[in-house]
């Protein structure tokens, strides 16, 4: 079923038979409007879309959107990095399911998977000031409840996964924010949205990412996130 749904043409044919109104929205609103909007590059729209699908465990569209993402300029290294990152932020099961679909896409597109990085890579430099503040906050507010979670948040998450070079800090932050919105985890959004903006994401790009997420996450989660985004934007004026 996943293979047969890999192309937009196959998807539209299926929708025309089973949900013709949805087929029209898919073509006229999503493909001919959403994907043509200014504010995010096609590559970034794909990054948002695949991150949302992986984070929410929505596998049905992943093959089509992974293929589109590679065509839009997201590299196999970056897609692999997104999947690995979301194992921590959206759960191992969702990441494994996405990795299996990515494997099929890589086979279809002839990607040399031997070029994909494993765990042993040269990490990006650690921001010592940021990490010290983060660690102090975790030890104060969270370690008393679970020292194990606090320890694993330090390593491998923030001192290894966050420093992997397969994603830029800006993209890694955006992937994280998308995952949080996709799963309705609004409490964590301010920290990571602020970090995304510090890492180079523009406010307009964050705003347009919400527009993309409305379709690939869902409207209620996005509306719940919008006031939180606005508070972050206001706090940075």
What's the confidence (pLDDT) of residue 8? Answer: 76
Q: pTM of the prediction?
A: 0.95
pLDDT in tens, 214-234: 999 999 999 999 999 999 999
Q: What Cα–Cα distance (Å) separates residue 103 from each residue in 26, 62, 66, 229? A: 26, 11, 10, 34
Instruction: Kindly tell me if the per-residue pLDDT of 2 is higher than 50.
Output: no
Instruction: Give the up-direction half-sphere exposure of residue 51: CA atoms within 13 A in the CB hemisphere.
Output: 31
What pLDDT is attached to residue 149? 98
User: Do 109 and 10 have their domain in common?
Assistant: no
* Co-location of 18 and 44 in the same domain: no
Residue 55 has pLDDT above 80, yes or no: yes
Q: What is the DSSP-derived secondary structure letter of residue 69?
A: H
For residues 42 and 102, membership in a common domain is answered with yes
- Structural domain for 13, as ranges: 1-32
- Number of domains, the chain: 2
pLDDT value of residue 132: 97
Q: Is residue 121 a part of any domain in this protein?
A: no
Q: How far apart are CA 102 and CA 59, in angstroms?
A: 11
50: in domain:
yes
Q: Are residues 77 and 168 in the same domain?
A: yes
Residue 4 has pLDDT above 60, yes or no: no
Does residue 87 share a domain with residue 15?
A: no
Do residues 27 and 106 both lie within one domain? Answer: no
**75, 152: one domain:** yes
Are 8 and 45 in the same domain? no
pLDDT at 9: 81
Domain identity same for 6 and 71: no
- Asked if 148 and 163 sit in the same domain, the reply is yes
For residue range 59-81, list pLDDT tens digits in order.
999 999 999 999 999 999 999 99
Lowest model confidence (mean pLDDT) among 3-7, 105-109, 193-197, 202-206: 3-7
Range in 4-8, 166-170, 216-220, 231-235 with the lowest mean pLDDT = 4-8
Phi-psi map region of 73: left, alpha, beta (phi>0 left; psi -120 to 50 alpha)? left
């Amino acid at each position: 079923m996943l293979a047969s749904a890999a192309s937009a043409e196959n998807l539209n044919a299926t929708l025309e038979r089973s949900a013709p109104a949805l087929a029209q929205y898919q073509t006229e609103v999503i493909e001919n409007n959403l994907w043509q909007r200014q504010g995010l590059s096609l590559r970034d729209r794909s990054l948002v879309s695949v991150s949302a699908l992986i984070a929410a465990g929505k596998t049905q569209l992943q093959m089509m959107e992974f293929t589109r993402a590679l065509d839009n300029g997201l590299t196999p290294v970056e897609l692999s990095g997104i999947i690995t990152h979301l194992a921590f932020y959206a759960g191992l099961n969702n990441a494994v399911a996405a990795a299996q679909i990515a494997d099929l896409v890589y086979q279809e597109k002839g990607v040399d998977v031997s070029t994909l990085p494993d765990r042993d890579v040269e990490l990006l430099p650690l921001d010592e000031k940021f990490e010290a503040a983060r660690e102090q906050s975790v030890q104060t507010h969270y370690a008393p409840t679970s020292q194990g979670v606090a320890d694993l948040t330090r390593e491998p998450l923030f001192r290894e996964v966050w420093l992997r070079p397969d994603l830029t800090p800006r993209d890694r932050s955006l992937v994280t924010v998308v995952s949080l919105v996709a799963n309705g985890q609004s409490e964590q959004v301010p920290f990571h949205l602020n970090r995304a903006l510090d890492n180079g994401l523009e406010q307009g790009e964050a705003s347009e990412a919400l527009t993309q997420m409305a379709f690939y996450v869902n409207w209620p989660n996005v509306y719940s996130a919008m006031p939180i985004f606005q508070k972050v934007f206001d706090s940075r004026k």
